[in-house]
Amino acid sequence: MATRAVITLPTAIKAGQAFEVRATVAHAMETGYRSSDEGVRLPRDLVRRFECRLDGELVFAADLFAAISANPYLAFWLRADKPGELSFIWRGDNGFEHRETRPLTVA
Amino acid sequence: MRSAWLLLLAVALAAHADDRRSGRETMSPALRTLQADDAQHPAQLALALGREQWAAGARSCASCHGEPEKLRGAATRYPAWDQGIVDLPGRIQRCRVKHQQQPAWAPEAEPLLALSALVAQQSRGLPLRPPLGPELDQAAARGQRIYTTRIGALNLSCAQCHDERAGLRLGGSLIPQGHVDDYPVYRLEWQSLGSLQRRLRGCASGVRAKVWDWDSAELLALQTYLARRSAGLTMQPPGVRP
């Protein structure tokens, strides 16, 4: 199953005005502390880092840890003066990597 | 005089209808926002999976049905009768086995719930209109009997909580009227989407009764009765519930 991510941007963004970005990625965020129904320890499997870049420049990043829920949901505010491209990347254990890009249109 | 009586009757019926309140209207404001705002809705990932699944494979759902949006109103007409009672997830399973020639999913499988949510979502804002028919009438009557029969070690019937004590509290949480207008729902307690059957099975185990099997005649009869009990209420699936 392909990795899924949902990213929500406001429909209209004004130059120089802060706007909210919401991003979720489908991921189990297995802590490594839990056991399965059969009593077998479930290996740790986490998203470790989230980065958001605007035209290659890092504008938001987060380090994620075991206490963060499955399907981690991050909401943050950005401000842009000109249109560009927002790129999102999630990296984690077992080589997990998911990228998304969204065009940013600024009025 | 007679028309005055009819008017009075109509007003009384209307007032009676107004007593029914969807579970989403009695939730906390935060939860209501979560359901109303698509950008925050916790089922978004599932809906994205549903769309992916909709178009997947050579004999995809899309190859017969076109865009999911074309199924607007379909979810209002379940459970239906088609050589047996079938609810919406059941219909999707039948399509999968018969037309896509794929093995059926396990009950509550992620792609099945995702597709159910996607199809149900298309009927947002429409009133629930469960179909009629002799077999369905029979099932609804059986469902009503189950609904009003005391079961389990706690010796409680559905009606005792959801009719007689709706609006009161059980261990701090509000007892809803038990309407079925938002299924499948994302339940925060489950941390996932779940079908109406899962909800009903949870209730049975809550009163320590024998839990009905998936797609059993009892569950389908109960679903048929519940759909009629909620008929006319506006659907807003997928719902969010505490």
pLDDT digits (tens, 9 = 90+) for A15-74: 999 999 999 999 989 999 999 989 999 999 999 999 999 999 999 999 999 999 888 999
Quote the CA–CA distance of B165 and B42 in Å, as a whole number. 29
Quote the CA–CA distance of A78 and B197 in Å, as a whole number. 43
Quote the CA–CA distance of B212 and B214 in Å, as a whole number. 7
- Give the alpha-carbon dihedral of B87, B93, B97, B98, to 10 degrees: 30
CATH (domain of A58): 2.60.40.10
Residue B205 · residue B151 · CB < 8 Å: no
Quote the CA–CA distance of A87 and A56 in Å, as a whole number. 8
Contacts of B40 in chain A (CB under 8 A): 22
Is there a domain that residue A41 lies in?
no
Could you list the residue range(s) of the whole structural domain that residue A77 is in?
8-21+46-104
- Mutate which of B33, B40, B44 to disrupt the A interface (most A C-beta within 10 Å)? B44
ipTM of the complex: 0.76
Q: What is the distance between the terminal CA atoms of chain B, rounded to a whole angstrom?
A: 49
Contacts of A23 in chain B (CB under 8 A): none
Asked if the Cβ–Cβ distance from A26 to B191 is below 8 Å, we say no
What is the model's pTM?
Answer: 0.85
Residues A51-62 as b or e (16 or more Cβ within 10 Å = b):
ebbbeeeeebeb
| DSSP percent split of chain A into helix, strand, coil, nearest 5 | 5, 50, 45
* Cβ pairs A/B, distance under 8 A: 22
DSSP track, B43-106 = THHHHHHHHHHHT-STT-HHHHH-SGGGGTTGGGG-SEESSSEE-HHHHHHHHHHHTS--PPPP
Domain boundaries of chain B, sorted by first residue: 131-233
pLDDT in tens, chain B (242 residues): 455 544 444 545 555 556 899 999 999 999 999 999 888 898 999 999 999 999 988 899 999 999 999 999 999 999 999 999 999 999 999 999 999 999 999 999 999 999 999 999 999 999 999 999 999 999 999 999 999 999 999 999 999 999 999 999 998 899 999 999 999 999 999 989 999 999 999 999 999 999 999 999 999 999 999 999 999 999 999 999 99
C-alpha distances out from residue A54 to A11, A13, B24, B78, B176, Å:
17, 14, 38, 47, 46
Asked if the Cβ–Cβ distance from B39 to A26 is below 8 Å, we say no
- Give the alpha-carbon dihedral of B116, A36, B240, B72, to 10 degrees: -10
Using CB atoms, pick whichever of B44, B49, B191 lies closest to residue A24: B44
Write down the CATH superfamily of domain B131-233.
Answer: Cytochrome c-like domain (1.10.760.10)
Residue closest to A80 by CA, chosen among A19, A34, A23: A19
Is there a domain that residue A1 lies in?
no
